[in-house]
């Protein structure tokens, strides 16, 4: 008999990759739900979907992901990213489901310059970062067997992302300016989805994992590499975060020490530029 999985936030960038990876996956049936069917901050709407379906695993890909807008809308960010995971963890525990919750490199922000280990001290520098850290803590406090997987810089099919944005701007002939003093990794959403499904299959003891593609570089270096991969010969001007002046601060160094994924039967994460090449091939085909 198949196990049941529920993907919450199913219409988002990661949620749609989780649904795609789950379709036809041996041993699983998968249901996706987004805000129009359930609100993770509203226990009654969660119970209406979850208690009826009785999943063994719930992937939480829902969240408030507008890092800059969160500075002006802290309540909305804290509701979706801090309160929501706690409520979701409580309903998951009520029906005996394991919650696989997705978090972010933005929970780090300290002065370190070596990759952050899962147990290193968080130090968010933005409303978004704080809201996600509280979400991790709320979910694990309510349901200690919650899996938390931190990721960074998502790109892939079916959602707003940096790779498509930079290519779109370049093709429209817009001037390109990208910050060169924030170092982090990027993550192809289908690769992250495969890692999350591997966790669901392997059922290791609960803890915090880090998953991204390999390669921590500045946003400017990444943009230049993406433009080269797409064979677009355009200028991309490096700017400092101070000159860029975004409403939310970002960590200067949020490179994550990657967890031991081969122990779960997965290959080590591939280099980000290999994933970018696949993303570009898939876009040409679609
Ligand atoms: N994108 C990145 O670069 C990145 C990096 C690191 C970590 N993450 C984390 O990865 C996860 C997935 O990110 P993503 O980029 O796939 O996000 P996304 O594309 O913005 O999708 C999030 C989805 O969650 C839904 N949602 C928001 N609030 C909700 C609520 N209260 N109840 C139910 N659904 C709600 C959104 O619906 P609406 O569209 O209606 O709001 C949207 O469909 C998030 O936890 C995010 O923090 C993302």
SS (H, E, C) 53-84: HCCCEEEECCCCCCCCHHHHCHHHHHHHHHHH
Q: 282 C-alpha vs ligand 1 centroid, how far in Å? A: 23
In the chain, what percentage of residues exceed pLDDT 90? 92
Pick among 3.30.1490.270, 3.40.50.720, 3.90.1170.40, 2.60.40.10: CATH of 3-156+186-214+256-264: 3.40.50.720
SS3 218: strand
Average pLDDT, rounded, for the chain: 96
CB of 124 within 6 A of ligand 1: the answer is: no
pLDDT computed for residue 260 by the predictor: 85
pTM value is 0.97
**Paired tokens of 111:** 């002065």
pLDDT band with cut points at 50, 70 and 90 for residue 200: very high
Atom of ligand 1 nearest to the CA of 153: 3
Collapsing DSSP states into helix, strand and coil, what is residue 41?
coil
Q: Is 139 in the pocket of ligand 1 (CB under 6 A)?
A: no
Taking residues 143-159, report their average pLDDT: 96
For the residues 54-65, what does the mean pLDDT come to? 98
* Ligand 1 nearest atom to the CA of residue 34, by list position: 34
Note the pLDDT of residue 232. 96
Taking only the tens place, the pLDDT of each residue in 240-273 is: 999 999 999 999 999 999 988 888 888 899 999 9
pLDDT for 215 beyond 80: yes
Q: Is 128 a catalytic site residue?
A: yes
163 lines ligand 1 (CB under 6 A): no
Question: Does residue 230 carry a pLDDT above 90?
Answer: yes
- Helix/strand/coil percentages in the chain, nearest 5: 45, 20, 40
Report which protein residue has its CA nearest ligand 1's atom 43: 12
Nearest-Å Rg of the Cα atoms of the chain is 18
Q: Is 254 in the pocket of ligand 1 (CB under 6 A)?
A: no
Alpha carbon nearest to ligand 1 atom 38, residue: 35
Residues 192, 196, 202, 208, CA torsion sign: positive
pLDDT score of 164: 97
Count of residues making up the chain? 286
Residue 23 has pLDDT above 90, yes or no: yes
Query: Do 63 and 104 contact (CB within 8 A), yes or no?
Result: no
**Angle value at C-alpha 274, between 267 and 12, nearest 5 degrees:** 85
**Distance (Å, whole) CA 286 – CA 281:** 9
Ligand 1 atom, smallest distance to 106 CA:
6
Q: By the 8 A CB rule, do 42 and 35 touch?
A: no
Q: Round to whole Å and give the CA distance between 222 and 103.
A: 22
Q: What pLDDT score does 212 carry?
A: 98
Three-state DSSP class for residue 2: coil
**219-229 and 162-171 are packed helices; what angle lies between their axes, rounded to 10 degrees?**
60
Q: Which helix (H) or strand (E) holds 22?
A: helix 13-22
Give residue 205 CA to ligand 1 midpoint distance, Å. 26
Q: What is the mean pLDDT of residues 38-63?
A: 96
């Amino acid at each position: 008999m198949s196990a049941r999985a529920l993907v919450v936030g199913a219409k988002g960038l990661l949620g749609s990759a989780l649904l795609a990876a789950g379709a036809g996956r041996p041993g699983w049936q998968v249901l996706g739900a987004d805000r129009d069917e359930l609100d993770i901050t509203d226990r009654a709407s969660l119970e209406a979907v979850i208690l009826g379906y009785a999943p063994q695993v719930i992937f939480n890909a829902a969240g408030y992901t507008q890092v800059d807008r969160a500075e002006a809308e802290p309540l909305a960010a804290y509701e979706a990213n801090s309160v929501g995971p706690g409520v979701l963890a409580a309903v998951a525990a009520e029906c005996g489901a394991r919650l696989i919750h997705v978090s972010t490199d933005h929970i780090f922000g300290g002065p370190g310059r070596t990759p952050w280990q899962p147990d290193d001290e968080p130090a968010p520098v933005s409303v978004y970062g704080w809201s996600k850290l509280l979400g991790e803590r709320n979910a694990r406090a309510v349901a200690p067997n919650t899996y938390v997987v931190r990721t960074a810089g998502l790109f892939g099919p079916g959602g707003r992302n940096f790779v498509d944005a930079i290519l779109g701007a370049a093709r429209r002939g817009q001037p390109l300016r990208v910050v060169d003093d924030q170092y982090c990794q990027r993550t192809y959403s289908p690769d992250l989805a495969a890692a999350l499904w591997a966790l669901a299959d392997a059922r290791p003891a609960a803890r915090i994992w880090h998953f991204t593609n390999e390669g921590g570089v500045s946003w400017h270096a990444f943009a230049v590499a993406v433009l080269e991969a797409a064979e677009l010969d355009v200028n991309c001007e490096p700017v400092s975060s101070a000159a860029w002046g975004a409403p939310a601060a970002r960590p200067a160094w949020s490179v994550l020490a990657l967890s031991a994924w081969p122990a779960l039967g997965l290959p080590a994460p591939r280099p980000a530029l290999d994933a970018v090449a696949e993303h570009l091939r898939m876009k040409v085909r679609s």
